[in-house]
Amino acid sequence: MKALVFNEFGNAEVLTYQEVPDPSLARGEILVRTKAIGVNFADIYRRRGDYYLAGKPPYILGYEGSGIVEQIGAGVTKVKVGDRIGFADVPFANAELVAVPVEKAIPLPEQISFETAATVLLQGLTAQYLTRDSYELKAGNTILVHAAAGGVGRLLIQIAKLLGARVIGLTSSEDKADAAYSAGADAVFLYDASWPEQVFDVTNGRGVDVVYESVGSTLAESFQVTRIGGTVVFYGMAGGDPPPVDPRMLMDTSKTITGGDLWNVLTSFQERTTRSQQMFDWITEGKIKIAAPITFALKDGSDAHRLLESRKSIGKILLIP
């Protein structure tokens, strides 16, 4: 099979498209011929060497994708050859064939295209658990969403509006602010402005009920704009490591910080199926709109990495085998 691989850590130029052995199936696994593969910042971090990688080169990136089941391993009964499936947490996805543990397979309804599945699964399931498990949003809540024009950010906005919340977004440019407004944000501010003051202005000095913090380096400001008794949900650090949190501040203000990690909630085939079905229903019913992805051929994966790394893209980036 063909795959996008790299033999040493570095910039996008280390990625090459070449022939590698087909994956072998273990018990409980299925072989999926990929139709669309999601590109995420975690792929860049792994390519640079910022994240630990097991095994030896050539390394294959990718954790998210969709395709058709081509073969099933021993003991598999939940899916069959020819089924359409997606996955959000299976390694070595930047390839024509991927061995997927059946417990991590997500059945795709006919109304959900391969491209939509690869666009929405990882980011959509993340937005879903952030608004349901990390902090259960209710009608009337006011929330602040960092990186509001990103994939998770725009889905957070839409889910929050669906649940009756008021949404304030933060972005880095006017173009991205327009994207956040298009997703339904009530107000959007830029990082290079005095955004904490602006947040207090639009909340009449009260602050927000919850901040969805994915930048990291802005954690202190996120706490600043959180109301007394409010919550900061920390789920990423795209802008650098967060400063230490003073527990005395938490005590004095009755504020809460909670972490969020998708893999702590996607714990079974049933959990994946149930959660993804809600996302798919929202999409097919028109309650959530998924922006058209930016697509690259798998062989042009280095170009996809460069675009994502530039932070100039708006919308999900996919690789098509």
Q: In the chain, which segments carry CATH 3.40.50.720?
A: 139-259
Domain topology for 139-259? Rossmann fold (3.40.50)
As a whole number, mean pLDDT of residues 82-96 equals 96
As a whole number, mean pLDDT of residues 113-131 equals 95
pLDDT at 318 over 80: yes
More confident residue, 48 or 161: 161
Q: Are strands 142-145 and 166-171 parallel, antiparallel or unpaired?
A: parallel
Strand partners, 3: 18, 95
> What's the pLDDT at 123?
92
Find the range with the poorest average confidence among 133-147, 230-244, 292-306.
Answer: 230-244
Predicted confidence (pLDDT) per residue in 26-59, tens digit: 999 999 999 999 999 889 989 988 777 777 889 9
Q: In the chain, which segments carry CATH 3.90.180.10?
A: 2-120+264-320
As a whole number, mean pLDDT of residues 55-83 equals 94
**8 A C-beta contact, residue 78 and residue 105:** yes
Torsion sign over Cα 25, 29, 30, 36:
negative
> What's the pLDDT at 52?
72
Predicted confidence (pLDDT) per residue in 226-264, tens digit: 999 999 999 988 788 889 999 999 999 999 999 878 888
pLDDT at 293 over 80: yes
Instruction: Report d(CA 317, CA 123) in Å as an integer.
Output: 12
> What's the pLDDT at 311?
75
Second-level CATH architecture of 2-120+264-320: Alpha-Beta Complex (3.90)
> What's the pLDDT at 266?
87
> What's the pLDDT at 54?
74
Q: How many CB atoms lie within 10 A of CB 286?
A: 7
More confident residue, 313 or 123: 123
> What's the pLDDT at 315?
79
**8 A C-beta contact, residue 174 and residue 180:** no
pLDDT at 124 over 90: yes
Residue in the structure block whose two tokens are 């058209």: 292
What is the full DSSP assignment across 131-171?
IIIIS---TT-EEEETTTTSHHHHHHHHHHHHTT-EEEEEE
> What's the pLDDT at 262?
85
Q: How confident is the model at residue 156 (pLDDT cuts 50, 70, 90)?
A: very high
Using a 10 angstrom Cβ sphere, with 0-12 exposed, 13-18 middle and 19 or more buried, the burial of residue 36 is buried
Instruction: Report d(CA 294, CA 239) in Å as an integer.
Output: 23
Contacts of 1 (CB under 8 A, 6+ apart): 19, 20, 21, 22, 95, 96, 97
As a whole number, mean pLDDT of residues 90-111 equals 96
